[in-house]
């Protein structure tokens, strides 16, 4: 199979980096976008060493119309005029205040909605002209939508909106044979997670899972590759929860 052109946003580290390296290991052309340009460039270098057919990286604010428009054009040029996979992973999570709904700063709430909700829409809006039949979009949400995680209202609300957005995108883009799905990871051990919980992140929620261990980014990569690939060619508008069985217990 010829290499696909894959765009991963929010890929300077954490889950986004893991996704980029997963596609690289399959020999795809991997484009890495993040507000952290140095981190994006580092991910692109790691992707090249992991087997990517080619790599590209750039600084992008997904909440900006100008940035996402430029991003789509540059990635399409990198891919020979086409974008095959978009992974909408960029989101505000690290550093967010966690507390009762009465204590959430309205400005922070606006920031979360601007990046976590408007961002994925702007990326798909800009990439749409370059998506063809067989292309795939994976919007990254969170299993917190189903648990209603307390003291996290702005973040959980934004990820719930991503689920709703996916369903509309799937119907509209499906007319062009483009699939759109949601990937909803549970709590994953990333730098941002340790930033929120410190050493407690290692055991957070473990007792609530069917699989009694913590999750790492590598545990989620396979699900992303599945949704983006031909094995899921008749899967669209769906949400795949990857949380070790925490939500049904």
* End-to-end CA separation in angstroms for the chain: 40
Nearest Cα residue to 159 out of 175, 173, 148: 148
* Contact yes or no for 174/233 (Cβ under 8 A): no
Q: Name the residue with tokens 């990857």.
A: 242
**Would you name the residues annotated as active-site residues?**
155
């Amino acid at each position: 199979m010829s290499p696909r052109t894959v765009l991963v946003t929010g890929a300077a580290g954490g889950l986004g980096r893991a996704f980029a390296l997963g596609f690289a290991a399959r020999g795809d052309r991997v484009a890495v976008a993040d507000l952290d340009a140095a981190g994006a460039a580092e991910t692109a270098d790691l992707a090249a060493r992991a087997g990517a057919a080619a790599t590209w990286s750039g600084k992008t604010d997904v909440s900006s119309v100008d940035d996402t428009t430029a991003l789509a054009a540059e990635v399409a040029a990198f891919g020979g005029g086409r974008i095959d996979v978009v992974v909408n992973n960029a989101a505000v999570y690290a550093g967010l205040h966690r507390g009762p709904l009465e204590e959430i700063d309205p400005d922070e709430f606006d920031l979360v909605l601007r990046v976590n909700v408007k961002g994925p829409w702007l990326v798909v809006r800009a990439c749409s002209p370059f998506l063809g039949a067989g292309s795939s979009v994976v919007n990254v949400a969170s299993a917190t939508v189903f648990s209603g995680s307390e003291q996290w209202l702005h973040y959980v609300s934004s990820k719930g909106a991503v689920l709703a957005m996916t369903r509309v995108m799937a119907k509209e883009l499906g007319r062009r044979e483009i699939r759109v799905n949601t990937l909803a990871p549970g709590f994953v051990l990333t730098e941002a997670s340790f930033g929120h919980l410190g050493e407690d992140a290692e055991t957070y929620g473990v007792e609530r899972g069917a699989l009694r261990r913590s999750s790492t980014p590598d545990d989620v990569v396979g699900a992303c590759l599945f949704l983006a690939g031909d094995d899921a060619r008749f899967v669209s508008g769906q949400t795949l929860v990857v949380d070790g069985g925490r939500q049904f217990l």
